[in-house]
Amino acid sequence: MKGGGTESPHRRFNPLTGDWVLVSPHRTARPWDGQREATDNDRIPSYLSDCYLCPTNARAGGRQNPDYTHTFVFTNDFAALLPEPIAQPAPDSNGLLVSEPERGICRVICYSPRHDLSIARMTREQVRPIIDTWVDEYLSLGAHDFINHIQIFENRGLIMGCSNPHPHGQIWAGSTIPNLSARELEQQQRYLDKHGSCLLCTYLARELSSGERILFANDSFVVLVPYWAFWPFETMIIPQRHSPSLETISEKEKTDLAAIMIELGICYDNLFRTSFPYSMGIHQQPTDGSEYPAVHYHFHYLPPLLRSQTIKKHMVGFELLAMVQRDLTAEVAAARLRDLPRNHYLEEQ
């Protein structure tokens, strides 16, 4: 089966990871009597005296924030990775209890001094410094000889494990390439070797020709629900110009990226009339000094809400033990998101 128009169970292949996704469209009608999440529509002020990310406040680690006016970056006070060299553990003769040291640097990016904002509620002029910061950090962190991979990401919303609603993201820069990124690198190179073209350039052209899973686009970027999506309203932002990383992004592309991120954020918030939670991450080429001609950088948005602002998709049972499964097809999800306003809110959040 090559298309997406079916109501019977089927599998879809994810060419970026090499994994398969089980799709069961007939299950969307099943009743729900499981866990419901608390709503997250509380009004919050623009500044909180006890927020450890607001300007001039003391952070959880004791350091004081400056009176910043745009973005503010600092090394995570409770970093998962540390830059200091670590002693190599003794090898396990059986090859079963294997470990190795991992060095790295973890950074926090405060997007704005205002506690009550999100990217969806910022202007292009407010989002542009975030993109500039991503580029600067990618270059400066990648210049360290022990940093070979940089993961830029954002967790938004309490149900995504975000410990503070102040608008912020993170960067984990490590000495090795993580599992998922390594799989994407391998799959993109394999596609280039076999077909002589970029995987995502070819895929994007295919999606633009049909429009079935496209949400919207501008001169530089396209937002779509990938054919192989497994989160209910998963999307990708893909540059129309082939580029391995943010390092080569132009000034116009920065403006277009800011605009399309804001549009997607408003679209998400309008879906269930809530401050929409998600995990967002940028996948781009490693910083190990090697050439990666097959890599086409892109953004993944992975939101957990299933049917409403209180019903979350849980990864349990078959999905934890066998393979990822989804009920809502990519085509239905794209149609629902595409029909939502992306320039104004349906009602005040």
pLDDT tens per residue, range 274-313: 999 999 999 999 999 999 999 999 999 999 998 888 888 8
Report how far residue 165's alpha carbon sits from residue 142's, in angstroms, rounded to the nearest whole number. 28
Domain of residue 18, residue span: 13-22+44-87+98-338
The number of domains in the chain is: 1
Cβ proximity of 333 and 225 under 8 Å = yes
Whichever domain contains 241, its CATH number is: 3.30.428.10
Report how far residue 340's alpha carbon sits from residue 124's, in angstroms, rounded to the nearest whole number. 20
Report how far residue 257's alpha carbon sits from residue 124's, in angstroms, rounded to the nearest whole number. 9
In DSSP notation, 228-255 reads T--STT-EEEEESS--SSGGG--HHHHH
Q: Is residue 281 part of a domain?
A: yes
Q: Is residue 34 part of a domain?
A: no
Please confirm, yes or no, whether 168 is among the known catalytic residues: yes
pTM (two decimals): 0.94
Q: Is residue 344 part of a domain?
A: no
Q: Is residue 39 part of a domain?
A: no
Q: Is residue 185 part of a domain?
A: yes
Report how far residue 181's alpha carbon sits from residue 153's, in angstroms, rounded to the nearest whole number. 13
E-strand ranges in 157-297 read 168-174, 214-217, 221-224, 235-239, 278-283
Which residue do the tokens 């408003």 mark? Answer: 266
Q: Is residue 195 part of a domain?
A: yes
pLDDT recorded at residue 96: 92
pLDDT recorded at residue 30: 59
Please tell me which residue in 115, 149, 166, 168 is annotated as part of the active site: 168
Report how far residue 231's alpha carbon sits from residue 218's, in angstroms, rounded to the nearest whole number. 24
> For the chain (length 349 residues), average pLDDT per consecutive 10?
66 97 80 55 85 96 95 97 88 89 97 97 97 98 98 91 90 98 98 98 98 98 97 98 98 98 97 94 98 97 90 89 94 96 81
pLDDT recorded at residue 140: 98
pLDDT recorded at residue 284: 98
Q: Is residue 29 part of a domain?
A: no
pLDDT recorded at residue 349: 47
Count of other CB atoms within 10 angstroms of residue 187:
18
Q: Is residue 226 part of a domain?
A: yes
pLDDT tens per residue, range 135-192: 999 999 999 999 999 999 999 988 877 879 999 999 999 999 999 999 999 999 999 9
